[in-house]
Each structure stands twice: as structure tokens, then as C-alpha cells.
Copies of this chain bind each other. A is one copy, B any other.
Amino acid sequence: MDWITQVAERLRATGGRMTTQRRLILETLAQCTDHPTAEEIYQRARQRAPDLNLSTVYRTLRWLEDLGVVGTQRFEGERPQERFDPAVSAQPEHHHFRCRLCNTIIEFPAPLLEVLKQDFITHYGGTIESASLIFYGLCESCLQKVETYGPLSFNPNAITGPHERPSHSTGRAS
């Protein structure tokens, strides 16, 4: 039984219905190798069904999130939007590296994290149900480029001082 049928089954079990739109969104997700935003998923799915609506995409994504079929991530330095991670059901515990220059995301397992969790509980008590670990840095290929050509001028995280932020200025012409 393939992934979509599996999801459909879980859906039925709770009184849900498998619709054309939901199938389309599931198929779109199945083809993703990245971490798209709701808008991106909408655009990709829309190529096959132009009258698909963005609300439907959001509703479907929230539903999949509740089902644990997709995960959500927020990355620093981005517009305050959510990215969806179609890979959670395949590899429940994976984490993310994000390249500050090319924005590539690398998913990696971190079994050692269990030790960190245990450490935490030993000190503070309680229980840990889930964990989110994100590394930020340069991926190998961007690192090479920087080493070859020197620091790239469009570095989005460059600190420019208090009154001149890269994207959001204080409202004065510079």
C-alpha cells in the first residue's frame, strides 16, 4: 500500500473524506524533496488544477500536521512563514541544517540527541516528547565558493549596524 492510500485510510478512520483536492495536495507533497511553504505547495499543485484554493491547501496541511504526516519548521532570518516537511512520516526523528547562503536544507539523523535529552531530564526532571534541532551555517559547496572568491557580498545575515537593516529600514533614506 502506498503512502497516499495509507494516509487516506487514516483519514477515513476518523470520518474524513478523500477528495480530489486532498489527493492532489498529497501527490504534490510526495514529489517534494524540499521544505516548501504553503504558497509554494499551492503553486505546484495548481499547475494541475488551476481552481484549487489556497485555503484548501492550508486546511489540508493543518490536517496532515495533526496526523503527523507533515512536520512544520520555522527558519531564522526568513519572513515569518511556516515551511512544511513531507519527510516526517518516513523518518520521524530527523533534524535540519540550513545554509545561510543558498538556503539548501540538509536533513540528518541525530541519535546522540537522546543523550542530550537524558542529560536534561537528569538535571531538570520532566519528560521530553519532541525536539527540534536546527543548524545554521554554510554548506560544503558555499563554503568552497567563499574560500575561493572571498566573502560574498550578498550575505543576508551581515550585521550592518542599528539604523540600517538589510531589508527593513527605519524609514529614512540613506
**A interface residue numbers (CB < 8 A to B):** 11, 14-16, 59, 62-63, 66-68, 72, 74, 76, 80-82, 97, 99-100, 106, 108, 110, 112-113, 115-117, 119-120, 123-140, 142-143, 159-163, 165, 168, 170
Hey, which chain B residues are within 8 Å of A82, CB to CB? 80
Hey, which chain B residues are within 8 Å of A129, CB to CB? 100, 136-138
Hey, which chain B residues are within 8 Å of A142, CB to CB? 126
Hey, which chain B residues are within 8 Å of A120, CB to CB? 97, 108, 135
B66, A165: Cβ atoms closer than 8 Å: yes
A125, B140: Cβ atoms closer than 8 Å: yes
A161, B15: Cβ atoms closer than 8 Å: yes
Closest beta carbon of chain B to A126's beta carbon, Å: 4
Given A15-B163, A129-B136, 10 more A-B residue pairs with CB atoms under 8 Å apart are: A67-B159, A97-B124, A97-B128, A110-B119, A112-B115, A116-B116, A125-B140, A126-B142, A129-B138, A131-B135
Closest beta carbon of chain B to A136's beta carbon, Å: 5
Closest beta carbon of chain B to A67's beta carbon, Å: 6
Hey, which chain B residues are within 8 Å of A115, CB to CB? 112
Hey, which chain B residues are within 8 Å of A132, CB to CB? 76, 132-134, 136
B126, A139: Cβ atoms closer than 8 Å: yes
